Chains A and B, each alone.
Chain A
């Protein structure tokens, strides 16, 4: 019952929130929503102990796929978004064959290389990827009405509601997976792969599964992005963006489901409110780098560890 009240309150807050902020902040809310899905899906991969540097490029695969099937084949945008997720999952499945011959550091480097190859292919093949200029004029989400509310996707508020629903659904699925026996097996693969394997766990299979699922949801996030901003190019998914994702995840902490989300929210607020107001936007990579280093030094378990301390103190009282 208490939980139900909390969820309803959260939903109401999310419905009200965009109406309280400026137009440009509404846009930020849309990006934030999409980025939450990116970090949350990234966490699922880290459950098995592997860190990838290709996650953002794989997100881009979803963006390109959805942009192309809607633009070239005239597929309905919501279906295109699903196709985007599937495309990313499939690419991840193919990449898992070479990548999961490696572990740890080598996987990290391998995933980076794989991502750069994909970005090169986008640049190299003007048809269909549009080369370095990318794809422009991507179909927007078609407007529709649900009776009480008219979705007009020219307005960021509408797109915020739409993406919030999609992302909430995705987060729910990610959460269910993490709390399931499959999620437990991911943890097992991470913490002690020898014992997991001796217990009959096919390590390769579970690493691949986590990679494919995480990539699928990243693809959905990419597609959501593509249909919002309307234009994508290889640089929309470069390593700088990947560094942001890593920073959100590490600053938030990857020990819990909410850690990376917390990191993403806090840093976005910091970025948009503090940096933009101070006119320090250009220094964003610098400041992110600084935050990353400081948080590794002084807060190795991320923001989530602070939350845990606070809630534990409350419990103790």
Chain B
């Protein structure tokens, strides 16, 4: 069976620096797949290439076997791959509800003429329902009228995911979703991700919180200095000598 996502020889060079170097991995449909590595390993850069934010210097990104490398980000999103950002990236000046509404953009495409003539009320209602469901899913229902920029850090992370979830993607790329969350919030969020996965969304997860990664992922790819290092189940990765070496040599330790 073709995997949902496959990257082949994915490479990104910034001038002289090779941030990602001939990376290969596959994400199976229905899995929670972890992408780990020490700081600066190239995880975010990989996300940026998969999501279309960067054009790979070399290599390919295949979605359901189709080449999507180099497509602009909105085109990739329209093919069902939606991402969140490492640093909370929200519409800070808009309300929480409006943030989620933007997430419904692809399903309920705004139509200028219908909007002027008032013929889009049912689409607007459905979009509102969808946005509220997404907020509820991430426990944000009672802050929907607050400005996104005024939310606590944990809530902001959750809202980032709610915006992504509002488009009902096939594959969701989460870049360090647990940073800034307290242990209680992290635990709750892990439960939500399992539910998301059970609903049929495939998740590709970058995270430094090893307990969360080990507890959630079906499969983990580890990279270091842009290169593929190891792949396997959480148990295999935890005991992999190269992985331990990479983390001990790097800034952080495997928890």
Contact = CB atoms under 8 A, between A and B. Distances in A.
B167 A180 contact: no
Interface string B65-88: 000000011100110001111000
A195 B74 contact: no
Size bin of chain B's contact surface: 35 or more
Contacts of B92: 191-192
B89 A194 contact: yes
Given A173-B116, A181-B110, A192-B89, A200 B72 contact: no
A203 B51 CA distance: 15
B77 A181 contact: no
Interface in B105-125: 105-106, 108, 110-112, 115-116, 118, 120, 123-124
A308 B98 CA distance: 21
B228 interface: no
A202 interface: yes
A143 B140 CA distance: 59
Contacts of A181: 101, 105, 108, 110, 115, 120, 123-124, 127
Contacts of B123: 181
B113 to A, nearest CB: 10
A177 interface: yes
Interface stretch (A134-142, A182-190, A221-229): A182-190
A188 B167 CA distance: 15
Interface residues of A, number: 24
Contacts of A209: 112
A184 B108 CA distance: 13
Contacts of B77: 197-200
B163 A185 contact: no
B42 interface: no
Given A181-B110, A188-B94, A203-B74, A196 B116 contact: no
Contacts of B127: 181
Given A177-B115, A195-B91, A185 B102 contact: yes
A177 B108 CA distance: 16
21 contacts: A176-B118, A177-B112, A177-B115, A180-B116, A180-B120, A181-B115, A181-B120, A184-B94, A184-B101, A187-B91, A192-B90, A194-B85, A195-B85, A198-B53, A198-B74, A198-B83, A199-B74, A199-B82, A199-B103, A199-B167, A201-B74
Interface of B: 51, 53, 72-74, 77-78, 82-85, 89-94, 98, 101-103, 105-106, 108, 110-112, 115-116, 118, 120, 123-124, 127, 163-164, 167
- Top 6 A-B residue pairs of the complex, sorted by shortest distance between their CB atoms: A180-B115, A181-B110, A200-B106, A200-B77, A182-B110, A197-B73
Interface of A: 173, 176-177, 180-182, 184-185, 187-188, 191-192, 194-203, 209, 213
